[in-house]
């Protein structure tokens, strides 16, 4: 349970709010690389309540700039992306990827340069890694080094990134990631051999009351969920949380070959972009893996490219889940009686069905956490909230977070069958498996 004030603090991400400022101290995933073609259509984004436009110029460089022209605020989306800049459709002013105004054709040449220097657009630093364009939206003098997230470090072809809109506050999504206990219920299949979700592990369903051990770290925390396995061994699932909203979820059991994770990037306080990352360390991803991803059975869900208008705000370009609140997430009661626990087909579709329709603060899509009752298996959720509240409050008092600069985000989530029943022992025995090795091709800062 949270007080009304703390719930509001965590949920609010507008510039100037404690949590909004904290988000702005980190590199955030903004748009997938594949969406931005050289001189192609720009993409309308909203991140942390800010209307932005992403595009790739003639040189292949990416820019994330104000969505509206500095002249009379026309939507630059309708402009022309050509010859290293976007030209506004209204009166032809032109802007480059850094937001500089490079041409004002509507005034005499003599006055052009001075005028241009005064009308540059807001623009944010971008960086491309792991199939995603990342953005830093904080103060220029606080820009941290790019994090050693493995999802962003594997060679091209080894990763698959996707994104879509979830119609809830960002925190409900992250809480689902850190909630090991729900997997045994929400994602349960009656016939384990029919479970189409890779890495879901039939082991997960043998014991619905995992024993959780959590350890705080410089980057956030990790926790081990230990379940009894039919073989008599301990079945460990080790999940990682990195501040503010990255999670790594274990996949298969055994030698680490593939990883995956998610990031929750607030659109506004009632909508969030979910980023899903899948990668392999041992080889490029293959056609089977790509079609598994396209099937929507796990993450991402079944998606369509679309435009969405949130209230009276400007439209944004995103991916829209086909199973959504307007069609009951394609709930099939026949499926529910014999196939799986919910009757909803895909894993994200199951998660979203709940997270988008929980008991909300009236007039919002923020869960009313003053009314909940957390238990022992919710420890990770409670610890995550306390850490973020502490960081956000400290920042509001002028104490900058150390994490963006000092924490090493180079960690992994793993699944293991082991005789070891103690988490600290498991961790020290397998420390190299929890850690991303230094690579020669690591991105320069």
- The binding site for ligand FES (CB under 6 A) comprises 69, 71-72, 74, 88, 90-93
Q: Which residues contact 354 (CB under 8 A, 6 or more apart)?
A: 176, 186
Q: Which stretch binds Fe ion (CB under 5 A): 146-154, 266-274, 343-351, 373-381?
A: 343-351
- For residue 76, the minimal CB distance to ligand FES (Å) is 7
Applying CB under 5 A, among 6, 57, 317, 351 the residue interacting with Fe ion is 351
Q: Which residues contact 22 (CB under 8 A, 6 or more apart)?
A: 244, 388, 391, 392, 395, 401
- For residue 57, the minimal CB distance to ligand FES (Å) is 18
Nearest to ligand FES of 92, 199 (CB atom): 92
What is the distance between the alpha carbons of residues 343 and 288, in angstroms, rounded to a whole number? 25
Q: Which does 178 bind (CB under 5 to 8 A by kind): Fe ion, ligand FES, none?
A: none
CB 157 within 8 A of CB 134: no
- For residue 71, the minimal CB distance to ligand FES (Å) is 3
CA distances 314 to 74, 307, 364, 365, 398, Å, are 11, 10, 19, 19, 33
What is the three-class DSSP state of 46?
strand
What is the distance between the alpha carbons of residues 377 and 322, in angstroms, rounded to a whole number? 32
Q: Which does 69 bind (CB under 5 to 8 A by kind): ligand FES, Fe ion, none?
A: ligand FES
- For residue 116, the minimal CB distance to ligand FES (Å) is 12
Nearest to ligand FES of 107, 421 (CB atom): 107
Nearest to ligand FES of 95, 278 (CB atom): 95
Q: Which stretch binds Fe ion (CB under 5 A): 85-93, 225-233, 312-320, 351-359?
A: 351-359
What is the distance between the alpha carbons of residues 400 and 89, in angstroms, rounded to a whole number? 41
Q: Which does 351 bind (CB under 5 to 8 A by kind): ligand FES, Fe ion, none?
A: Fe ion
Q: Which does 93 bind (CB under 5 to 8 A by kind): Fe ion, ligand FES, none?
A: ligand FES
CA distances 366 to 12, 23, 171, 241, Å, are 9, 17, 8, 21
Nearest to ligand FES of 86, 165 (CB atom): 86
- For residue 74, the minimal CB distance to ligand FES (Å) is 4
Q: Which does 91 bind (CB under 5 to 8 A by kind): ligand FES, Fe ion, none?
A: ligand FES
Question: What is the helix (H) or strand (E) element at residue 166, kind and residue range?
Answer: strand 159-166
How many Å separate Cα 428 from the centre of its chain? 29
- For residue 431, the minimal CB distance to Fe ion (Å) is 28
Nearest to ligand FES of 69, 186 (CB atom): 69
Q: Which stretch binds Fe ion (CB under 5 A): 20-28, 58-66, 307-315, 349-357?
A: 349-357
CA distances 417 to 112, 180, 230, 233, 422, Å, are 68, 17, 11, 6, 13
- For residue 93, the minimal CB distance to ligand FES (Å) is 4
Nearest to ligand FES of 83, 216 (CB atom): 83
CB 172 within 8 A of CB 355: yes
- For residue 42, the minimal CB distance to ligand FES (Å) is 14
Token reading at 136: 């830093």
Q: Which residue is nearest to Fe ion (CB)?
A: 351
What is the distance between the alpha carbons of residues 422 and 286, in angstroms, rounded to a whole number? 37
Nearest to ligand FES of 70, 276 (CB atom): 70
Q: Which does 308 bind (CB under 5 to 8 A by kind): ligand FES, Fe ion, none?
A: none
- For residue 54, the minimal CB distance to ligand FES (Å) is 18
Nearest to ligand FES of 65, 171 (CB atom): 65
Nearest to ligand FES of 88, 151 (CB atom): 88
Nearest to ligand FES of 87, 160 (CB atom): 87
DSSP state string for 145-156: PPP--GGGTSPT
Measured between alpha carbons, how far apart are the two ends of the chain, in Å? 41
Q: What is the total count of residues that contact Fe ion (CB under 5 A)?
A: 1
Sign of the C-alpha dihedral computed for residues 13, 16, 17 and 20 taken in this order = positive
- For residue 348, the minimal CB distance to Fe ion (Å) is 8
What is the three-class DSSP state of 200?
coil
Residues 80/82/84/88 CA torsion (nearest 10 deg): -20
What is the three-class DSSP state of 136?
strand
Q: Given the rule CB under 5 A, which residues bind Fe ion?
A: 351
């Amino acid at each position: 349970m949270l007080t009304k004030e703390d719930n509001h603090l965590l949920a609010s991400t507008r510039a100037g709010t404690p949590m909004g400022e904290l988000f702005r101290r980190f590199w955030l995933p903004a748009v997938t690389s594949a969406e931005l073609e050289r001189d192609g259509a720009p993409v309308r984004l909203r991140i942390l309540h800010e209307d932005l436009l992403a595009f790739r110029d003639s040189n292949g460089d990416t820019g994330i700039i104000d969505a509206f022209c500095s002249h009379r605020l026309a939507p630059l989306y309708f402009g022309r992306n050509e010859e290293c800049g976007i030209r506004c459709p209204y009166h032809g002013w032109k802007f480059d990827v850094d937001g500089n105004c490079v041409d004002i054709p509507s005034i005499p040449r003599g006055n052009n340069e001075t005028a241009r220097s005064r009308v540059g657009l807001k623009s944010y630093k971008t960086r491309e890694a792991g199939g995603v364009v990342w953005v830093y939206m904080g103060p220029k003098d606080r820009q941290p080094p790019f994090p050693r997230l493995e999802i962003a470090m594997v060679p091209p072809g080894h990763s698959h990134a996707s994104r879509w809109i979830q119609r809830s506050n960002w925190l409900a999504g992250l809480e689902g990631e850190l909630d090991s206990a729900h997997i045994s219920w929400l994602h349960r299949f009656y016939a384990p051999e029919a479970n189409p979700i890779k890495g879901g592990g039939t082991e997960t369903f043998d014991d619905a009351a995992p024993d959780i051990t959590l350890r705080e770290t410089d980057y956030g925390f990790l926790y081990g969920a230990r379940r009894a396995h039919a073989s008599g061994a301990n079945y460990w699932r080790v999940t990682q949380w990195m501040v503010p909203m990255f999670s790594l979820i274990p996949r298969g059991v055994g030698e680490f070959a593939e990883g995956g994770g998610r990031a929750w990037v607030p659109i506004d306080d009632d909508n969030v972009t979910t980023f899903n990352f899948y990668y392999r360390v041992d080889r490029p991803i293959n056609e089977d893996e790509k079609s598994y991803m396209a099937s929507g059975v796990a993450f991402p869900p079944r998606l369509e490219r679309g435009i969405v208008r949130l209230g009276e705000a400007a439209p944004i370009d995103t991916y829209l889940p086909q199973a959504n609140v307007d069609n009951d997430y394609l709930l099939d009661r026949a499926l529910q009686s014999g196939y799986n626990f919910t009757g909803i087909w895909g894993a994200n579709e199951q998660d979203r069905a709940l997270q988008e329709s929980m008991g909300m603060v009236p007039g919002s899509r923020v869960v009313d956490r003053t009314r909940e009752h957390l238990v022992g298996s919710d420890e990770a959720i409670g610890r995550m909230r306390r850490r973020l509240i502490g960081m956000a409050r400290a920042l509001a008092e002028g104490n900058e977070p150390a994490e963006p600069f000092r924490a090493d985000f180079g960690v992994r989530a793993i699944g293991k069958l082991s005789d070891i029943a103690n988490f600290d022992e498991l961790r020290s025995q397998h420390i190299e498996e929890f850690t991303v090795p230094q690579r020669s091709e690591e991105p320069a800062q």
